[in-house]
Amino acid sequence: MDLRNEIRGMEPELLTWYHHLHRNPELELELPRTVAYVSGQLAAMGVEHRVLPGSTGIVAAVGQGPGPVIAIRADMDALEVREETGLPYASENGCMHACGHDAHTAILLTAARWLKAHEDTLPGRVKLLFQTAEETLQGARHMIANGALEDPAVDRILALHVGGLGGEAPAGHIVLSQGVAFRSSDNIHIVIRGRGGHAASPHLSVDPVVAAARVIEALQTLVSREVSPNTPAVVSITHVRAGAETYNVIPDQVLLLGGIRTVDPETREYLVRRAEEVVRQTAASMRCQAEFSRMDGAPAMINDRDTALRVERAASRLFPGEVHWMKESNGGSEDAAYYFERVPGCFLFLSSMARDGDGTVYPHHHAKFRLDEGVLWRGAAVLVQSALVLMDETL
């Protein structure tokens, strides 16, 4: 309980960091102002750290104990969303922290401050990973390529998400998973080429629009007829673009964009392979040619069961009766999955959505997305307590 009270006492500084980061969002892989700000805070605490080339992330370390090395990851990038919250610290640069990454960063800074203050008593070491480009699913691989999990090698890893992605739970409660927390993600890019012409003479053309319609319809049978009903999976076409905005021209080609999401590697690879086959063969049956490409997103985010059980024990010690297990995986994707492919770990959720005066809760990625600031300190407390338990099994 001392840890809980100490971190609760750091809440004013946590909120100062959170408000600054929220007011100054940056996008994608290079976040020069954000990285400089976080680096400055770590330097003021005396936390050893290094900034990755091009302001593309920070790797910090605390502790010299002989026990395990535990990594804690926070993402720092924002979204290209124009904020409409009306908050006094709202962004004014056309971008927005509409997913909570500013809170993740402030929470990890708070954890860093506590860990540094207690560095001599830590049974092991903690690596703090401040990551860019989660929204584009690039950042984790970049961090790994720059040695984030090495020197010293990480034994287990933790990551936390604020908001409502863990399902319905009261504000301040912790939600965990013993298996899949997020699903895999692959974007697909399809171009169907035909031969354009006058809409009044379709027999003189090869119509890619009709072929595209057949392709879209055929893709919807992959999950319903080729994947077990017990395996969550989604194939969606989300964007269609064809020709000029006119009524009487059959275009030369149609662009389709979409995505594939599922929970296990075998189904993921099967659906991508079959999607390409269906696209090419269906287009060919309509006398068109098809180009199919896959933009690799992220694998399924799978929690290690043993690590999750230890985190559940740690979180319950701090917040008895306020820790829950997820009923089903989140349908979104998380590039922290790349860390978890290499190191056993636990991804946890802090329920922290705010309600407007009329009771409305705006979801992640919405221009009016807001967090309940009063529970953010709990994220730092549970991450620190979990790291301590993972470093010392006797705790």
Which tens digit of pLDDT belongs to each residue from 58-83? 999 999 999 999 999 999 999 999 99
For the domain spanning 2-183+300-391, the CATH number is 3.40.630.10
* Cis, peptide link before residue 202, omega less than 30° from 0: no
Residues of the chain above pLDDT 70, percent: 99
Average of per-residue pLDDT across 41-48: 98
Specify whether the CB–CB gap between 210 and 162 falls below 8 A. Answer: no
| The pLDDT of residue 136 is above 60 | yes
Tokens of 300: 């399924």
Tokens of 275: 């999607």
| The pLDDT of residue 167 is above 90 | no
CA pair distance 24, 38, nearest whole angstrom: 12
DSSP state of 107: H
Q: What is the pLDDT of residue 298?
A: 92
Per-residue pLDDT tens over the stretch 256-282: 999 999 999 999 999 999 999 999 999
Average of per-residue pLDDT across 141-145: 97
Per-residue pLDDT tens over the stretch 206-227: 999 999 999 999 999 999 999 9
Specify whether the CB–CB gap between 223 and 251 falls below 8 A. Answer: no
Q: What is the pLDDT of residue 393?
A: 73
- Burial bucket for residue 253 (CB in 10 Å: 0-12, 13-18, 19+): buried
DSSP 282-338: HHHHTT-EEEEEEEEEE--EE--HHHHHHHHHHHHHHSTT-EEE-SS-BSS--TTHH
| The pLDDT of residue 330 is above 80 | yes
The pTM (predicted TM-score) of the whole model is: 0.91
| The pLDDT of residue 394 is above 70 | no
* Same-fold call for 2-183+300-391 versus 185-298: no
Specify whether the CB–CB gap between 162 and 100 falls below 8 A. Answer: yes
Per-residue pLDDT tens over the stretch 242-259: 998 999 999 999 999 999
Instruction: Provide the CATH topology of domain 185-298.
Output: Alpha-Beta Plaits (3.30.70)
Domain locations in the chain as residue ranges: 2-183+300-391, 185-298
| The pLDDT of residue 168 is above 90 | no
